[in-house]
Structure 1
């Protein structure tokens, strides 16, 4: 798996907006997912799910459902005829829900609703919340060991 396209997109975004703020959040999360799948496959599978990462023509990242408390999915836009689906494990969607607050104009209502639903499910279940925190921590520790992220 070659993550250079995702790293280049993140770098381009930071070249425009700088290294601070939320403007490049989607590029950062996409790069992190690719690097995680490449360098920490077991932990990434548990966090993100088990399907491979692909890039369809519209540029929306499509992943799989699997580990991390079960998969959830939404269409990538509000069109019911969209051929692309956004699948992600519950824990990843829960963790990302904090980053997608008030992002409906940028990512569409279905993506925002997907993250809100994941947040609601996990926050209602203390045991699941603890499991998701541990899954996220395992992935972060692996990435740190590989010196991919600080």
Structure 2
């Protein structure tokens, strides 16, 4: 029996169609004419905003999935390291060798945890930066489009 991945959010977005939403907006605006304002440009702006929403949601989802996969990999690596450490400690002879080996293992574990933490932080920051750049760019474009639409008002 196959189990569904609880982190797969693609089903949530399967029915979301920004083109259909833009069409609904266009149909809604087609009956309401505002004198001097090109409603088709407003609809086009909203269509672009919906597309941005979809791409940013997909980017965040992909980033989250990559993060979860990497964390799972880190957990597997940690389990393997603990297993090896336990084997190493059980084969050591005298107590001073065991103590020295424990200190070495603790230091290595700390350095690995710090490295993993930095990697996770970088993954999160890269995803957030990518999405923020897209949103900032679209906001600037949207404001320019609005400015152009308003400038055409007679």
Do they superpose with TM above 0.5?
A: no
Larger Rg: 2
Would you tell me which structure has more strand in proportion to its own residues? 1
Flag the structure with higher helix content. Answer: 2
TM-score normalised according to structure 1 size: 0.29
Q: TM-score scaled to structure 2, two decimals? A: 0.28
